Amino acid sequence: MTAGAPIPRWALITGASGGIGAELAALAAADGYHLVLVARSADLLATLARTLTRLHSVEVLCVPLDLARREAANDLIARLAARAIVPDLLINNAGVGLYGLHQDTPLEAELALIDLNIVTLTRLTKRLVPEFLARGSGRILNVASTGSFQAGPYRAVYYASKAYVLSYSEALAEELAGSGVTVTALCPGPTQTGFHARSGMRHPLRILGGLVPIARPAAVARAGYQGLLAGKRLVIPGRVNWLLVESVRFLPRRFATAIFAFTSRPR
């Protein structure tokens, strides 16, 4: 780096090959952040990298990696260290869902879900927070869900994993208050990403009986990104999603769970 040259800013984004992750990458690139993009699909990452490099003249490091592997986070941190990259933004977006009766869903799939949604997110955060603190700055966005606020029959393990993400993020945000490091939990509702279909739902647009609007990934990403830069602790995109979350606070937990079960049951 030449004397007087601006210090490059980096954003590390997991689950960046499509959907909300790709939209977050586009927003960060438009702000001049160089990118470390992580996902399983090397082809999709490469296509996104070419587009963002052409549009915004940023450097993009693509890391094809299966983050459901328990050692994946350590492998990723090692790659960053080899390039002397310390991200300014850590966006833990990678996640997977699983739908069905708990007695029927594969145990290995549930354990992989836990490793991706919880373990890898925690490992990456744990490894980078000390570096953020040493520098006195850093922003973390953890993608949770409106499902973080309640139990989710037919997606029991997924909803439990997102409850962890929300609780972990809010607790860490309080611990880090005043340090220059912020933690934001993004809690989207149903989004047009193919996520619910991949989790095994045959009718993914009938979530909660079709009462909740299906959001566009770009809108969800924009809300989360703006909240991240503002240092907000919690972002719930969409007024209906916000009202849904607030209503759960006032309902008996068993009643709220029964309503969710009725509107989400297999058909």
Active-site positions read 158
Q: Which distant-in-sequence residues (6+ apart) come within 8 Å of 58 by Cβ? A: 29, 32, 33, 34, 35, 52
Provide the angle, in degrees to the nearest 10, between the axes of the packed helices 72-82 and 121-135: 30
SS3 of 216-264: CHHHHHHHHHHHHHHCCCEECCCHHHHHHHHHHHHCCHHHHHHHHHHHH
Alpha-carbon distances, residue 172 vs 66, 112, 136, 178 (angstroms) = 26, 24, 15, 12
- According to DSSP, the residues that pair with 142 across neighbouring strands are 92, 185
Instruction: Name the amino acid, one letter, at 116.
Output: L
Q: Is 49 left (phi over 0), alpha (psi -120 to 50) or beta?
A: alpha
